[in-house]
Every structure is written in C-alpha cells, then in structure tokens.
Amino acid sequence: MGMVDVLALALAAFALSIWIVVPGPVPTLFLVSVGATELWPLLALINVAILMGGLRSRSRWRCATIALASGSLLCSLVPPTAYAFRGPRVPISALLTPWPIAEPKGSAAQNAPTVLAIYGGAWERGSPRNDARLNERIASWGYNVRALDYPHSPAFRWPAQRDAIVRQIDAIRDGKLILLGHSSGAQLALIAGALRPKRISGIITYESPVDLKLGYEFPMQPDIINARQITSDLCGGPPQRHPACYRSASPRYVVHHGMPPVLMLAGARDHVIDPQLQQVLRDTMRSDGIRVKYVELPWADHSFETVSYGFHNRIAMWYVRNFIDQVAKTTSRGR
C-alpha cells in the first residue's frame, strides 16, 4: 500500500473518530457519532496501524499522516478514558464479551420472569423487531422475552400508546413480569409500571423521557430529533393547548410509591434526553420510596444500545442481567 493510500485511510479514520468528541448535529452524523463511540476499540486499532505506517514512512505525506492518526487515536481513546475515571465499574469479563456471534438460545426455567421489551422510536416509528439482538441475548440467559407493540403517532394520539401496552400486560398470564424499554419505550414502561404496580416485578429503562413539557420548551441543542414536532404529534399540539396530555405522558408526574424496583440506564452525553432530567426522575422516584439503581455511562449518547455489542452496552447489559437475576431470586423467595 502506497503512502497516499495510507494518508487516505488516515483521513477516513479521522472523519469517523472526530465524531466521538463532537456530537453529530444532524441525524445521519449523529448515528455516525454513536457508532464510532461504541466501536472505539476497532477505531483505535485502525488508528494505531495507520500511525505505525506513518512512522515507518519516509514520504512527504509522513507528517500529515502521523498528525491525523495521532488525533484520531486520541479521539478513539476518550470513551475508555472517561470510563476509567468515572466508571461505573464492571468485571473485565463484561467488557470482553465476544463480538456478534450467534449464542445458543437458553430455555427458560419454569416460573422464570418474563421480560416484556418495548421498543423506542419517538412514538412514531419502529417495531417489536427493533431490539431483536438484545432480546435474544436476554433469552440466552434463560428468561422468557416478549416484544410488545403499540400504535404510532400522529395517527394515534396519547394515551393510545399507553393503553395498548397496558392491554397487552393484562392479557399475559405468565407469572412475574419485568418491563424493559428504550427511549419512548422506556417512558411507556415506567407509566405502565405505575398503572400496574402489582403486576410488574421490575422495570428497566434506557434513556427515558422525563417531562414532555420541559422537553418541548427547552429542547436539546442541537435538536437532532425535532422534539417539539414529536411531542406535538403525540399530544396533538403544544403543551399550552394540551396540558393534561403532556402531564400524563411525563413519567415524573406518574410514578408513585409502591412501584417495583427500577434500573435506569442513562448516557451522560445524551443529546436527545437531557441527562439532568434523568437525574430528576431518579430523585423523584427515590423520594417516593421506589428502589432505583441509576447507572450513568459517562461517554454514552442516546440509543447507544442499538450497537448491541458496543462498548457501553456491554456495561449496561451486565447491570441488566444482575437486575433480572435479582428480581428472579426475589420472586423465587416470595413464593
């Protein structure tokens, strides 16, 4: 490979690595940012290889290649550096989970809890197939997993989404149930858990919306998903016209004493859901006497879990498994 080719690779690697530290301002670049962050080990190896090639070269492009590769390598090492300084700590085995390889699907033990998975998509898109890889992984641990569905806005206004989830919960005759939701699915999981506290044994949330009115009035910047349009589609207009909808769709006003334990997974660099609001929701639930395990991943952005074997989701899945295992043990002791 010639030095010009190495320089081209260095430019390409830099174009990917830079988005680890600079969040993508539009949806396409945002997805690149999430992917690059979660796959930083691969980018780091590529950048090391390019840097070594530059150091061995005597070409006139040598300095440019070394500079680009060095900058890219520094960018790709930001997520593990943040993890090293801020945690949360997990066993090294959790971080060394093999890359995507089909795992044998475990058969669920008798009376094992059933995990009800609720996908995200801003209430407007998605399907139960969205989180198939994550759901398969949970099933491989020996638990039942069912993916729930709900109608999408704007064709269906709130509370159609909530009511659809609750109906499905009511129709399930399995023993103990655990709700697991992503983004808008996490909002549905919390609200359904609040409405059916005696039916639900645990709730797991990835980046849940917290207060739709605040989200409308103070959208994140850059506003990657057009938050005002999304919440208007859900409620049929702004909060001034539909205050009851915005309040009943905001978990912070719906959670209450007596709800099951909650595992909250949040990204400290979330550019869709304000991490500070995640902390408000955590504190609200704790003040209500709800047992909450809050895990904030220091360099994770919204939807990091879509990269199912990515860096932060390896950490998150360790907590998910521990949480489900604990619910299963508590369920077993309670019989």
Q: How confident is the model over 129-172, as pLDDT tens digits?
A: 999 999 999 999 999 999 999 999 999 999 999 999 999 999 99
Could you give the dihedral angle defined by the CA atoms of residues 324, 176, 305 and 302, in that order, rounded to the nearest 10 degrees? -110
- Look at residues 13, 33, 102 and name the one whose alpha carbon lies nearest to residue 310: 33
- With cut-offs at 50, 70 and 90, classify the pLDDT of residue 3: low
Residue 332: its pLDDT value, please?
54
Q: What is the DSSP string of 180-206?
A: EEETHHHHHHHHHHHH-TTTEEEEEEE
Residue with the larger pLDDT of the pair 37 and 55 = 37
Each domain of the chain, given as residue ranges in start order, spans 3-76, 96-334
- pLDDT given at position 177: 97
What type of residue is 72? S
- Confidence class for position 5, pLDDT limits 50, 70, 90: confident
pTM of structure? 0.94
Is residue 279 over pLDDT 50?
yes
E strands, 207-323, are 262-267, 292-297
Q: What is the mean pLDDT of residues 293-314?
A: 96
Q: Tokens representing 55?
A: 């150091």
CATH class of this structure's domain 96-334: alpha beta
Residue 102 pLDDT greater than 50, yes or no: no
Q: Of 233, 227, 236, 193, which Cα lies nearest the Cα of 209?
A: 227
Q: 174 pLDDT band (50/70/90 cuts)?
A: confident
Place of tokens 């797991």: 204
* Of 4-8, 12-16, 204-208, 220-224, minimum mean pLDDT range: 4-8
pLDDT one-digit tens code per residue, 234-276 = 999 999 999 999 999 999 999 999 999 999 999 999 999 999 9
At residue 71, does pLDDT exceed 70?
A: yes
Q: How confident is the model at residue 335 (pLDDT cuts 50, 70, 90)?
A: very low
**Per-residue pLDDT, 158:** 98
Alpha carbon distance, N-terminus to C-terminus of the chain: 66
Residue indicated by tokens 């409405």 = 195
Contact 44, 76 (CB under 8 A): yes
Model pLDDT, residue 99: 56
Distance CA 154, CA 30 (A): 24
pLDDT of residue 236: 98
SS3 content of the chain, % helix, strand, coil (to 5): 50, 10, 40
In the β-sheet with 144-148, what is the strand arrangement from edge to edge?
144-148, 114-118, 177-182, 200-206, 262-267, 292-297
CB 186 within 8 A of CB 118: yes
pLDDT band (50, 70, 90) for residue 308: confident
Are 201 and 113 in contact by the 8 Å Cβ rule? The answer is yes
**Could you tell me which residues are beta bridge partners of residue 146?**
116
Contact predicate 71/14, CB 8 Å: yes
Instruction: Name the residue with tokens 């408000």.
Output: 280
Average pLDDT for the chain: 92
